[in-house]
Amino acid sequence: MLNIILFGPPGSGKGTQSEKLIVKYGLKHLSTGDLLRSEIAAQTPLGLEAKAIMDKGHLVPDEVVIGMISSALEANPTSSGFLFDGFPRTEAQSIALDSLLELKNTEIAAVLSLEVGEDELIKRLLQRGLTSGRSDDTNEEIIRARIVEYHKKTSVVADYYSQFDKVRNIKGEGTVDEIFQALCKEVDQYTM
Ligand code: AP5
């Protein structure tokens, strides 16, 4: 099995690159942001609770997202690997993910970390907010709150996986194809 974490701040291109990587490497895409937005669209109690938190740019509680990932792993027993996008976002989520994968006798191969400057992140997200319908993209203050939350709570995920020498930094600015090629160069090392 090949399990990759695509890591980076809001707007760094995780979703864009995930779509391409899952096709090339036959991985199952697991995005906690997408899973949460499905709950919101279905107006479930979990979705309603999550929406209030996401609209402020804050993180949804660990137990909620860990439960979602656990169910998604169970629902895909024959997958040849997973691409995690937007998860894990805290050290507790990282530890939980490692335990869940250990139960399947597998582990994270690499954490590919997309590096993008803050001005570019804000520009991309405001631009997407014009058409995406995502309420957390339309207001610059909320976008900045998401970036602050990333530095406060999520950047530690890279520290956590660095102790196992699993983090690879990738320049996340340039064309989508240039960044994809740089990501593939890393992933290929685990498939050859
Ligand atoms: P989530 O859905 O994960 O959003 P995010 O991390 O804020 O990331 P985005 O989807 O905004 O950006 P991205 O890095 O995927 O970039 P994208 O490819 O879309 O999370 C949303 C919320 O859910 C969180 O704030 C939190 O509340 C909650 N949540 C989710 N997971 C959680 C967890 N594990 N724990 C707790 N809470 C959780 O690109 C962005 C834009 O840039 C697009 O318009 C794209 O077209 C454009 N773009 C991409 N690449 C390029 C490029 N190379 N050049 C120019 N533009 C580009």
What's the Cα-to-Cα distance from 163 to each of 10, 83, 98, 154, 156, rounded to whole Å?
24, 21, 14, 16, 11
Question: Ligand 1 atom 30: the closest Cα is on which residue?
Answer: 33
pLDDT digits (tens, 9 = 90+) for 73-110: 999 999 999 999 999 999 999 999 999 999 999 999 99
pLDDT of 28:
98
- What number is the average pLDDT over the span 55-59? 96
Longest dimension (CA), the chain: 44
Q: Does 137 have pLDDT greater than 90? A: yes
Asked whether the predicted pLDDT for residue 192 surpasses 80, the reply is no
Res 153: pLDDT: 96
| pLDDT at site 130 | 95
Contact in structure between 147 and 121 (CB atoms under 8 Å): yes
Is the Cβ atom of 51 under 6 angstroms away from ligand 1? Answer: no
Active-site residue (options: 37, 104, 134, 166): 134
Q: Nearest Cα to 152, choosing from 140, 144, 162, 164?
A: 144
**Residue 178 burial by Cβ neighbours in a 10 Å radius (0-12, 13-18, 19+):** exposed
Confidence (pLDDT) at 166: 98
Give the per-residue pLDDT at 128. 96
- Is 146 annotated in the active site? yes
pLDDT at 32: 98
